[in-house]
Amino acid sequence: MGFTGNIALEAAALGKALLAGAALGIYYDLFRILRRVFHFGYAMILAQDLFFWITGAVGIFFCSAVVYGGQLRIIFVCAALVGWGIYSATVGAVLMKVFDFVSGIIRRMLICFARKTIKPLLGKLRPAANRISAAVNRRKNNFLARLSKKGEKTEKSEKKPLELSKS
């Protein structure tokens, strides 16, 4: 499908490509949010990026196929990348700053909650935990002492010469 000669159709296709790129940017922001909430290792980030690029490529392919009647056009892919760039530089940057701000507030609220509820509870449980720890240490020391006494007995019995009976 070549150039249709209809500027309005080509402009509409370009607009759809830009919107597809913005949708791709929103999709990537979901991964960015996950990475800010949960700290993943290098291998997991690599797997997420691979998943994103494969699913994003399939999405752009289907969008291009719908807009251009089953054909993949490089101009659509390039316009989608431009749309993603525009989204990321404008709306995406603002959304990530808002997310960071809101997540910071939520984090501070959770820390305040923990300080006011969990810390006093742990303070009340600490004496019981110390008693349990002391009891475990006493049992361990008693067990080790018994083992060392048994070891001494076996060493003494081994040092005695064996007497052979004369028959």
pLDDT, tens digit, 9 for 90 and up, residues 78-128: 999 999 999 999 999 999 999 999 999 998 998 888 888 887 887 888 888
pLDDT, tens digit, 9 for 90 and up, residues 10-24: 899 999 999 999 999
- Per-residue pLDDT at 81: 94
Q: How confident is the model at residue 53 (pLDDT cuts 50, 70, 90)?
A: very high
Burial class (CB in 10 A: 0-12, 13-18, 19+), 87: buried
- Per-residue pLDDT at 1: 47
- Per-residue pLDDT at 152: 66
The backbone torsions φ and ψ at residue 104, rounded to the nearest 5 degrees and listed phi first, read: -65, -40
Q: What is the mean pLDDT of residues 27-44?
A: 91
- CA 25 to CA 140: how far, in whole Å? 59
